[in-house]
Chain A
């Protein structure tokens, strides 16, 4: 037995459709032939048979649509033919009655519509009455799919013949009808179509529900076309829209109690009618929103409306929002009504509505900060109501509510791009409490990044206090933070942000600036050891900068010296906090920087302050820095700092430089010693003391240092390092020789050069040697130039042996 292959549902649809279409083609061909021969009745009979195909129940909406399109194309041909005949004066009496003899209702009504429109176009009978009759007769098709398409055919055919004239103008042509007749016509068709569409939902098996809903969505445009048609009637003015059209449409939408229909139609209304209509009908529209089925996503509808109006408000060509319409208040009230009506509304949707509202406020009333604040206040209230004890159940990161709330909070940040305006929103900060740790961190980073990107300066202590309270999660440990520490990289990134942020705390007035720094210090001071490493140094630097400002404007403030002293106390104490956190190198540098700054400012007592800072640096060096590399780096810095300073009298300078020399010679490794001592030699040459004019230029001590260097270098075991040190020493010697140090003679140079030349070739050839060789060659090159150069100034190189 040959087995018939089982067709998949899709194949079956294709097959059915193909069959239908072929019948349609055949019948329409015959119809046209009959019409060409003038056999109208036969033509109609074929048309009716063709239309019989639309009686099927087997096709899916998609296939039915294709069949419908094929047939309505053919019907257009019939319509054209009939219109032609009528125009030629060949009228067929009672055609409108004739087509009604078709026994089946679906073909009958399609034919009736076709003929009805021909009558209208040729002004046969009353247009008004025909329209009314057609839309009433269509009630006979109660099958949802067939009814929807039939009524769509009605709507399509009547597209260009709907009366669109004002009532008063049409008094002498009553039969023609007015726009009111068109409105009645479309509204009736709309409500009938919507009922059919909604009815589809309740047909068939529950397990096919998804499929059914999908099919319904495919058909929605058919229903929506009614609204489009209404919007195309030019004579519908604001009055008619407000009093007739919208109430009827809304009544149908609300009463159908079908989520899919409600959602689609409400959005449809928003899209098809003009903005100024919406503006005048916000209350009824939003009221209807509140009455929609609970599973309707009202949020989307309201957001769509808000977006449209916001766009309208920003459109420059438009007239903008009329001042008499309190757009924000209306939305605000109606949205809270919607929320109240829906106790089951998910919180993320509630927040999304607030997002819409805040967008509206920002786009339509960019100057009204209080509107935005009101939205935030409402949001806060909502959360208060949702969870009375918010600290214990904050919004989990990544949850829809949390995401939505973040979106809400980012809007004012992004739209103002100015943290200071954001701070005017009194309800902005408190909402942060509802976020969990992770979300709070993200939000705060976002906020701070915004400040940084916009280079917003924070000019007052209150504002600083305010911001730091808001971004507390980045400043201090939190009660709800997870036990395991944050990812170190992320943590560093956040803290670097805060460090950069500190530099933006800038007041016009130095006194205010001082208060700001104090506040910042208070906040950041509690940040724990890990954070202060990032946050306190910028504060210290800001404080130094402030001290410089006082100095620059010392004429304006007679108390500037005292203030400077206070600042240095502040810095001293702040650096102290870092030391307590087991840091040494950073505080050492901060002290040195402080000493430099103090030395430069020359306020009363500045020498003592500078000395204190230097000595603090020394004690850090001695007590806390043990790594030899770090030691060398530190002592080099100390020496460099001291070399730069000129505020110390001899009684202070002397112990300091001696201490430097001592420390340098006490370094653990010989090469370090050698280098330290050499560096130190400069203290005795270009160092300055307040007690005497100019540089110290103590040739003897310089020479002693260098000799000591040579001695230490000689003790080095590693010949490669030794040569390197000799080359470095040679450079130091040359420097001093050129500077005119009388203790440095050309013989010393010659000796060193000879020594180097002797040792250098014995070195193992490698990269390091190469580098040393290069250094030496460059040095020799320099000397050659000097010797052979025409310059007469400076010491003579005649006796130099190269």
Chain B
């Protein structure tokens, strides 16, 4: 907008190094749309150029300084005013002065720590972005550029299977078994349900993946459960002694890594929910 020539008379563009070759990833925005951004990992350098393009060729722009920030922040939707920045790095690109003509500034945040994974949930969002600010007397020109961060984790040393016997007395006893307790995002859940006692008429059985997002702390803790997947694994009523196979491919669902107590603000956990529906 350019009222009386006070508005930004220059376009700001952030061009990250290796833009064409770097992997990208998708993330949901708050309103459910999907965005694609460049993907970074912890400790990677984030470098690039900031191009300031004058709208009118040959015009000039006065400023109080140009800076670029690298910010990692957690936004709690119920607390819009407060963004918790867990990372904030600043680089000065230009001292106060005047820009004449198109100008490029290189920047580099070396080996930036990116401790958490980008995340958009029901009540919380964790995002990383670069912000260029051209400080001006009346209103600053700001440009933000999101990046996505994926964290890497190691295969767990212990990944025992989950095996459990549950039931309703004299009605239903089942034993279920999942081959692991920790799954990666493209993993396959393999398991089986063994019916030890069936005295009710079951219509079907399904396996649900539930995401539990916990925000806040202490008395203000808030849990949000969301069923990510419903997967029918049995149709009809089994009899005693029947064993039903489970095989669920995870890569088709929008899962994130399990997150525990991220910056003391939130957690995301995944549960497998076995649902038996009777007549």
Residues of A within 8 A of B (CB): 55, 97, 100-101, 103-106, 108, 136-137, 139-144, 146-147, 195, 199
Contact = CB atoms under 8 A, between A and B. Distances in A.
B41 to A, nearest CB: 26
Contacts, number: 53
Question: What are the nearest 4 A-B pairs in CB distance?
Answer: A143-B236, A142-B236, A142-B238, A105-B232
Contacts of B235: 55, 104-106, 140-143, 146-147
B245 A142 contact: no
Contacts of A105: 204, 232-235
Most buried by A among B232, B233, B234: B232
B239 interface: yes
B178 interface: no
B61 interface: no
Interface string B226-240: 000111111111110
A140 B249 contact: no
B244 interface: yes
A143 B237 contact: yes
5 contacts: A55-B235, A105-B204, A105-B235, A137-B245, A137-B247
Contacts of B234: 105, 140-142
A101 B243 CA distance: 21
A140 B249 CA distance: 16
A139 B245 contact: yes
B58 interface: no
Given A55-B235, A147-B236, A140 B245 contact: yes
Most B CB contacts (10 A, CB to CB) among A101, A140, A144, A146 go to A140
Nearest to B233: A140
B132 to A, nearest CB: 41
B218 interface: no
B81 interface: no
A108 B247 CA distance: 12
A104 B236 CA distance: 12
A100 B236 contact: no
A142 B233 contact: no
Contacts of B244: 139-140, 142
Given A55-B235, A106-B235, 9 more contacts: A103-B229, A103-B231, A104-B235, A105-B234, A136-B245, A140-B233, A141-B236, A147-B236, A195-B239
A366 B232 CA distance: 63
Contact of B232 (A97, A103, A144, A195): A103
Interface of B: 204, 229-239, 242-245, 247, 249, 252
Contacts of A140: 232-235, 244-245
B231 A144 contact: no
B108 to A, nearest CB: 39
A547 B69 CA distance: 146
A287 B237 CA distance: 33
A101 B233 contact: no
B249 A142 contact: no
The A interface, classified by DSSP as helix, strand, loop or mixed, is: helix
A216 B37 CA distance: 60
A97 B249 contact: yes
A268 B252 CA distance: 45
A101 B247 CA distance: 10
A139 B236 contact: no
A147 B235 CA distance: 9
Contacts of B252: 101
A139 B245 CA distance: 7
Given A143-B237, A199-B239, A104 B247 contact: no
Contacts of A146: 235-236
Most buried by B among A105, A142, A199: A142
Nearest to B251: A97
Given A142-B238, A146-B236, A100 B245 contact: no
B195 to A, nearest CB: 9
B232 A139 contact: no
A626 to B, nearest CB: 91
Contacts of A101: 249, 252
Contacts of B231: 103
B231 to A, nearest CB: 6
B247 A103 contact: no
A103 B230 CA distance: 7
A105 B231 CA distance: 8
A99 to B, nearest CB: 10
Contacts of A104: 232, 235
A140 B237 CA distance: 10
Contacts of B237: 142-143
Contacts of A137: 245, 247
B239 A139 contact: no
Contacts of A139: 242-245
B66 to A, nearest CB: 48
B236 A144 contact: yes
A104 B206 CA distance: 9
A140 B243 CA distance: 9
B176 to A, nearest CB: 14
Contact of B242 (A142, A143, A144): A142
A262 B245 CA distance: 28
Interface-centre pick from B204, B229, B235, B237 (highest chain A CB count, 10 A): B235
A61 to B, nearest CB: 15
A55, A104, A146 — most chain B CB neighbours (10 Å) = A104
Nearest to A101: B252
A107 B6 CA distance: 63
A375 to B, nearest CB: 43
Nearest to B236: A143
A411 B258 CA distance: 82
A139 B233 CA distance: 9
B251 to A, nearest CB: 8
Contacts of B247: 100, 137
A198 to B, nearest CB: 10
Contacts of A108: 232
A141 B234 CA distance: 5
A230 B91 CA distance: 77
Interface centre among B204, B230, B236 (most CB of A within 10 A): B236
A100 B249 contact: yes
Nearest to B252: A101
A137 B244 CA distance: 8
Contacts of B236: 141-144, 146-147
A146 B239 CA distance: 16
Contacts of B229: 103
Contacts of A142: 234-239, 242, 244
A440 to B, nearest CB: 54
A212 to B, nearest CB: 15
Nearest to B232: A105
B51 to A, nearest CB: 40
A140 B231 CA distance: 12
A146 B232 CA distance: 15
A146 B203 CA distance: 12
A142 B232 CA distance: 12
